[in-house]
Amino acid sequence: MNTATSTGTAPGTTAPSGIPTTTFTLGRAHPLAGRSLYDWLFALLAVAGAVFAFMRYGDVMDVYEKGILIGTVPAVIWLGWFWGPLRTLMLGVAAASLLAIALYSRTPDAFGADLAAGEKVFLLKYFLSSQSAILWMSVLCFMSTVFYWIGFAGRGHDNVAQRLGSQITWAAVFMALTGTMVRWWESHQIGAGIGHIPVSNLYEVFVMFVWMTALFYLYFEQHYRTRALGAFVMLIVSAAVGFLLWYTVAREAQQIQPLVPALQSWWMKLHVPANFIGYGTFALAAMVAFAYLLKQQATETAWWKLLPLALLGLVLCFEPMVFRQGAQEAGASFWLMYFGVSTLIVGGILAGRRAIAEKLPALELLDDIMYKAIAVGFAFFTIATILGAFWAAEAWGGYWSWDPKETWALIVWLNYAAWLHMRLMKGLRGTMSAWWALAGLVVTTFAFLGVNMFLSGLHSYGEL
């Protein structure tokens, strides 16, 4: 529909004739209308980046990978136009990744670049090699969590500490994405047939979970103009970082390994990221639900009524500890310390619940964020499940085999489908929906980690 204007009476607006007038718009403006120079420059750079990738790496891409690259260009442009900060983030990550590649490429070897430069060149060793960038991501996630919580002790609903927490979270996402892109490039320098997109093992997908969850939170933070939830959401992100650090030390998981045959498929490039949009937004919704319940019970004085919330808080913080293989293995002391810190955090949250609740958004807003996060996650998890069925048909000859991972993915899907049905059809709101969202995180975590730990099947290549 074309844009049109009309006049009519409205108080406070006066035409030259003295008759009050108003102007209104029918329909929507064209999506290309009103784009800034920065928007068009970003779009041009996105296209130029795709052309460069085709010229440089087109020979090693199959037809599906080329199709994915072509489809990525309009998606990247739309995302940058939809949410302005993503433009700067993506351009910054591209610049940092290209700088890392240039530094590596100064000392070539038989496969194109000498990865030993990562231990010799200052910027690579301390900032831009994949492992250095991911370690920076880890430190910055912990720092942002601390600053968000300090913000509850400050004055106002948007104080210096909370703003620092937000900015540090952006820096953590930047380092995570830079590390991911550089790791992708590094994998291709190890040897023929080894290079792959870094979404193939627990180490790589935990990095993806961290930046994806944080990035979705930053969008909601800006959209709803509140930073108070960062303290809660970054707790679950920090828990994931804690697991990632343990997994790195205990399993040397940062080493890049060749893909097993089942993972050598272009379906992986679509299925896994879509899956983790679901995991990330479900985790975000659960932590918002935790904040909802805390605010709702802020004035509660009977300790036994707070016990379920305390126990649930401990489960959320303690949950990664159960996914270690035996008390005698390396890293057991790490998890004991982790549990001790988690206990102090939960105790501190409950002790200061009244002061915290005063700075949390209204319950209606928390409920709305929880709903929107689950709706987005459910949509992408549905897409991921369908893509996974196509991948299974290609790899194993059947769309569905009731493998434990598939079965638990179905349980997760049914859980959130029921949540959304009850909300949209029956008006589910408030306490019940919050507790349900929290329980959903436990189910989702078991589908993500527990299946790999305790069950075996066609997805056994993902065990801890």
pLDDT digits (tens, 9 = 90+) for 365-415: 999 999 999 999 999 999 999 999 998 888 778 888 888 888 999 999 999
Tens digits of residue pLDDT in 183-223 = 999 998 887 778 889 998 889 999 999 999 999 999 999 99
Q: How many folded domains does the chain comprise?
A: 1
Whether pLDDT at 283 is above 80: yes
Task: Specify if 258 maps to a domain.
Answer: no
Task: Specify if 47 maps to a domain.
Answer: yes
| Helix-helix angle 160-190:130-150, to 10 degrees | 170
The token pair at 310 is 């305390």
Burial (CB < 10 A; 0-12, 13-18, 19+), residue 1, is exposed
pLDDT at residue 192 in the model:
74
pLDDT at residue 5 in the model:
43
What is the rounded average pLDDT for all residues in the chain?
84
pLDDT at residue 252 in the model:
83
Percentage of the chain beyond pLDDT 70 is 82
pLDDT at residue 2 in the model:
44
Is the distance from CB of 214 to CB of 173 less than 8 angstroms?
Answer: yes
Q: What is the mean pLDDT of residues 38-51?
A: 95
Q: Which residue has the higher pLDDT, 444 or 327?
A: 444
The region of weakest confidence among 62-66, 315-319, 423-427, 456-460 is 315-319
Candidate ranges 24-28, 111-115, 366-370; pick with highest mean pLDDT:
366-370
pLDDT at residue 253 in the model:
85
Structural domain range at position 39: 34-82
Task: Specify if 42 maps to a domain.
Answer: yes
Task: Specify if 16 maps to a domain.
Answer: no
Is the distance from CB of 157 to CB of 359 less than 8 angstroms?
Answer: yes
Partners of 25 in the beta sheet?
5
The region of weakest confidence among 148-157, 386-395, 453-462 is 453-462
Q: What is the mean pLDDT of residues 167-195?
A: 92
Whether pLDDT at 462 is above 60: no
Whether pLDDT at 16 is above 50: no
Residues sharing a CB contact under 8 Å with residue 80, sequence separation 6 or more, in sequence order: 39, 42, 43, 46, 86, 87, 90
Percentage of the chain beyond pLDDT 90 is 52
CB atoms within 10 A of CB 195: 20
pLDDT confidence tier of residue 303, bands split at 50, 70 and 90: low
Is the distance from CB of 42 to CB of 87 less than 8 angstroms?
Answer: yes
What is the C-alpha to C-alpha distance for residues 409 and 415, in angstroms, rounded to an integer?
10
Residues sharing a CB contact under 8 Å with residue 121, sequence separation 6 or more, in sequence order: 103, 104, 106
Task: Specify if 211 maps to a domain.
Answer: no
Is the distance from CB of 99 to CB of 113 less than 8 angstroms?
Answer: no
Q: Which residue has the higher pLDDT, 30 or 464?
A: 30
Q: Which residue has the higher pLDDT, 258 or 172?
A: 172
What is the C-alpha to C-alpha distance for residues 332 and 413, in angstroms, rounded to an integer?
33
Q: What is the pTM of this model?
A: 0.88
Which residue in this structure is represented by tokens 């958004």? Answer: 361
pLDDT at residue 9 in the model:
44
CA torsion through residues 445, 450, 455, 458, sign: positive
Task: Specify if 74 maps to a domain.
Answer: yes
| Helix-helix angle 363-396:268-296, to 10 degrees | 160
pLDDT at residue 234 in the model:
96
Whether pLDDT at 77 is above 60: yes
Whether pLDDT at 97 is above 80: yes
The token pair at 58 is 């087109």
CA torsion through residues 300, 306, 310, 312, sign: negative
Whether pLDDT at 243 is above 90: no
Task: Specify if 53 maps to a domain.
Answer: yes
Residues sharing a CB contact under 8 Å with residue 281, sequence separation 6 or more, in sequence order: 213, 216, 373, 374, 376, 377, 380
Q: What is the mean pLDDT of residues 92-112?
A: 86
CB atoms within 10 A of CB 429: 16
Q: What is the mean pLDDT of residues 305-310?
A: 66
Task: Specify if 51 maps to a domain.
Answer: yes
Three-state SS string across the chain, please? CCCEEECCCCCCCECCCCCECCCEEECCCCCCCCCCHHHHHHHHHHHHHHHHHHHHHHHHCCHHHHHHHHHHHHHHHHHHHHCCHHHHHHHHHHHHHHHHHHHHHCCCCCCCCCHHHHHCCHHHHHHHCHHHHHHHHHHHHHHHHHHHHHHHHCCCCCCHHHHHHHHHHHHHHHHHHHHHHHHHHHHHHHCCCCCCCCCCCHHHHHHHHHHHHHHHHHHHHHHHCCCCCHHHHHHHHHHHHHHHHHHHHHHCCCCCCCCCHHHCCCCHHHHHHHHHHHHHHHHHHHHHHHHHHHHHCCCCCCHHHHHHHHHHHHHHHHHHHHHCCCCCCCCHHHHHHHHHHHHHHHHHHHHCHHHHHHHCCCHHHHHHHHHHHHHHHHHHHHHHHHHHHHHHHHHHCCCCCCCHHHHHHHHHHHHHHHHHHHHHHHCCCHHHHHHHHHHHHHHHHHHHHHHHHHCCCCCHHHCC
Q: What is the mean pLDDT of residues 434-440?
A: 92
Kindly list the distances between the CA atom of residue 64 and the CA atoms of 60, 68, 265, 388, in Å, as whole numbers in the listed order: 12, 6, 10, 16
Candidate ranges 6-15, 102-111, 361-370; pick with highest mean pLDDT:
361-370
Which of 11, 245, 266, 264 is CA-nearest to residue 141? Answer: 245
What is the C-alpha to C-alpha distance for residues 247 and 253, in angstroms, rounded to an integer?
6
